[in-house]
Chain A
């Protein structure tokens, strides 16, 4: 029983950065902008968090910096895709590479290290310690951001389904010409979706750095791509996307507990599990059937 709870709590914690990034990815893609730069958003968020939290001593300032960094990454994405009309995939590949390089450069320049930065404090404050004393909730919740991520799922769903911005995001992702003829500024709506996406990725990055209490080289470790597959798995709907993230988190959590219990399966094989699962899920569940119709298409159409 205790072991099961530990696996579940682990799943929730592990899925937190996935959830944050994937919610952002869903927003971006619902507006019609393909987004595989979630990885860059996470990594830059983590870097900004670690640097600012270390310099200022406040994890909360770090959090703000992380959100700003995520927004900056997606602003670049928006500028290149929406105004320079560059291919969304190529822009994202560039941003992902740029993020890796920036991380490496910052470690070297600021801390003269090739691998990791100095230790930073997590978000655990006095009041949070009180929460952690609670029997079940304490184990499950881990850090405040785990809770924030969970609350953001219905918030993003509400944004998409119930607000004016959400309606416009859906409209420009499906049929930008129709939205334009009704006076909706297509590019402005896509900008808004991308900036929100950046905010969410930044939060995810802050979680990573705070969880490890430091920034390490390449610490996003493909999580942004898992988030991309969760978006497809969840058919661009926040609640389902979250389920996808939880699933990946659960697999990873299981893998960790299997490894420590050493039931005779080679560790490397078990470690592959989440990634193999990603492939299987993408192959099976990832029909693009429900993809926003205008996904990846430049606007306005034509040259």
Chain B
């Protein structure tokens, strides 16, 4: 323990207006150690990482590299000091290739021009060394999320970083991809790098880290050795109370059928059928789960159901009404609500206030408007109610959504959709990037909605979430339902093989 840390934060503070994101936060990263940083949404984890990487200037405090104080004015300074970072939201230029993204800012040159061949060779070499399979020439925009995450890691490693900061690198990954990533992290640790990893998934913390720092409301509330703690203890430290995410038995029985899907075929932008003959039914008071490895048609299924993409064939019947060709608005008016997977791109308008986001989609009805004119009082009241019910922090409806942490943005979105008075709700990844406390709250809201008689279709990459909430689980593989089980009888292990296509004729 006498070894000088590679990177040390000493009493760093940073405020955004009245919101104190970090208050005297100290943390030391040592060579050959994986340090986990956990905390609720908005606890200040990203802010800390961003300060350490020169993206945000601290108001007070010092940053030490190899024991020497440094001033990081930009990521360039941070990289020169041997740091690399993987950001919470992808920082990739879709139009460029993998290799171009990886070398951007440190491009190999030959004469005056860029040496693309060497960039590709360097990328391939780095990828091979860490077992991160990518094609250096592929345009990044067309890659699956899991592959994009590998590119992010390659970017961070390309400068020869000795310290890696990873902000929620596993949030968008499937279980298999997470395992692969954790293996890479262990390898990097064993090579003597210092690693900081932010995550909401406590089992990952337990599996991979050597020590843990817990943040709450910008302050360090715990600094523990992983070996001496447990996931339960950590979640209580984070949230300040006991958290229960276990499966809760239903008290009501499902009633009439609300959503019926018959032989649905939905094509992707390239014309290929991404959903290929899916039939399912959701009754009032029931949660139907859709499991599957990302990219097996979940996104297109959701788009086809909510009207964002019109199906090539098949029928969508909503409360007895055929809405296969209906617009999004008509479906919404018929009682269909939807929490899209990408909250910032599809669900919310980041630059608009929480209050305005809270009434999007019901803005054309009372109490948000009358006769086409918005009513501020009605909007404010609706927003207040939502902020209170879902414990959105900071509790200020006038803030733009972009200023909220990811988990709080998600609360606004889920809250809005569930309170729009729907009869059927489609939830896509409703707890992505959400802390355990908020997850518990969102899960409770989903179950309350179920008990109130809503029909719920839940698409999630988290098997534990599906198992805790669903009544029935369908496994989607290459656009087809290949497996259907009663959720009470299923386990994470039993869902794995069908998700990977086991037992399906090719």
A-to-B contact residues, CB < 8 Å: 158, 162-164, 166-168, 170-171, 174-175, 177-185
Instruction: Return the 8 tightest CB-CB contacts between A and B, nearest first.
Output: A183-B76, A182-B105, A178-B91, A183-B105, A164-B107, A182-B104, A175-B93, A164-B114
Q: Which of B188-230 contact A (CB under 8 A)?
A: none
Is B114 in contact with A183, judged by CB distance below 8 angstroms? no
How many Å from the CB of B113 to the closest CB on chain A?
5
| Inter-chain contacts of B101 with A (CB < 8 A) | 178
Indicate if B74 sits at the interface (CB-CB under 8 A): yes
Is A162 in contact with B113, judged by CB distance below 8 angstroms? yes
Is A167 in contact with B85, judged by CB distance below 8 angstroms? no
Contacts A164-B114, A175-B93 given; does A180 touch B104 at CB 8 Å? no
| Inter-chain contacts of A171 with B (CB < 8 A) | 93, 96, 100, 104
For the complex, what is the distance from the CA of A184 to the CA of B101, rounded to whole Å? 12
For the complex, what is the distance from the CA of A163 to the CA of B55, rounded to whole Å? 27
Chain B: CB-nearest residue to A178: B91
Is A184 in contact with B114, judged by CB distance below 8 angstroms? no
For the complex, what is the distance from the CA of A179 to the CA of B76, rounded to whole Å? 11
Is A182 in contact with B94, judged by CB distance below 8 angstroms? no
Contacts A163-B114, A167-B114 given; does A179 touch B95 at CB 8 Å? no
11 A-B Cβ contacts within 8 A?
A158-B113, A162-B114, A167-B100, A167-B107, A168-B105, A174-B96, A175-B91, A180-B55, A182-B75, A182-B91, A182-B105
| Inter-chain contacts of A181 with B (CB < 8 A) | 53, 55, 75, 85, 87, 91
Is A170 in contact with B93, judged by CB distance below 8 angstroms? yes
Is A164 in contact with B87, judged by CB distance below 8 angstroms? no
B-to-A contact residues, CB < 8 Å: 53, 55, 74-76, 79, 85, 87, 91-96, 100-101, 104-107, 109, 112-114, 116, 155
For the complex, what is the distance from the CA of A170 to the CA of B76, rounded to whole Å? 19
Is A180 in contact with B75, judged by CB distance below 8 angstroms? yes
Q: A178-B91, A179-B104 are in contact. List 16 more A-B contacts (CB 8 A).
A: A164-B107, A164-B113, A166-B114, A167-B96, A167-B104, A170-B95, A171-B96, A175-B93, A178-B104, A180-B55, A182-B75, A183-B74, A183-B76, A183-B79, A184-B105, A185-B74
Chain A: CB-nearest residue to B109: A164
How many Å from the CB of B270 to the closest CB on chain A?
16
In the complex, which of the residues B93, B113, B114, B155 contacts A174, with contact meaning CB atoms closer than 8 Å?
A: B93
For the complex, what is the distance from the CA of A177 to the CA of B74, rounded to whole Å? 12
How many Å from the CB of A255 to the closest CB on chain B?
38
| Inter-chain contacts of A180 with B (CB < 8 A) | 55, 74-75
| Inter-chain contacts of A179 with B (CB < 8 A) | 93, 104-105
For the complex, what is the distance from the CA of A179 to the CA of B109, rounded to whole Å? 18
Chain A: CB-nearest residue to B403: A302
How many Å from the CB of A34 to the closest CB on chain B?
18
How many Å from the CB of B93 to the closest CB on chain A?
5
Is A177 in contact with B104, judged by CB distance below 8 angstroms? no
How many Å from the CB of B164 to the closest CB on chain A?
14
How many Å from the CB of B353 to the closest CB on chain A?
15
How many Å from the CB of B107 to the closest CB on chain A?
5
| Inter-chain contacts of A167 with B (CB < 8 A) | 96, 100, 104, 107, 114
For the complex, what is the distance from the CA of A181 to the CA of B90, rounded to whole Å? 11
How many Å from the CB of B504 to the closest CB on chain A?
37
Is A184 in contact with B104, judged by CB distance below 8 angstroms? yes
For the complex, what is the distance from the CA of A168 to the CA of B75, rounded to whole Å? 16
How many Å from the CB of A193 to the closest CB on chain B?
16
| Inter-chain contacts of B155 with A (CB < 8 A) | 182
For the complex, what is the distance from the CA of A167 to the CA of B93, rounded to whole Å? 11
For the complex, what is the distance from the CA of A220 to the CA of B413, rounded to whole Å? 52
Is B92 in contact with A175, judged by CB distance below 8 angstroms? yes
| Inter-chain contacts of B100 with A (CB < 8 A) | 167, 171
Contacts A171-B96, A182-B104, A183-B74 given; does A163 touch B91 at CB 8 Å? no
| Inter-chain contacts of B75 with A (CB < 8 A) | 180-183
Chain B: CB-nearest residue to A290: B95
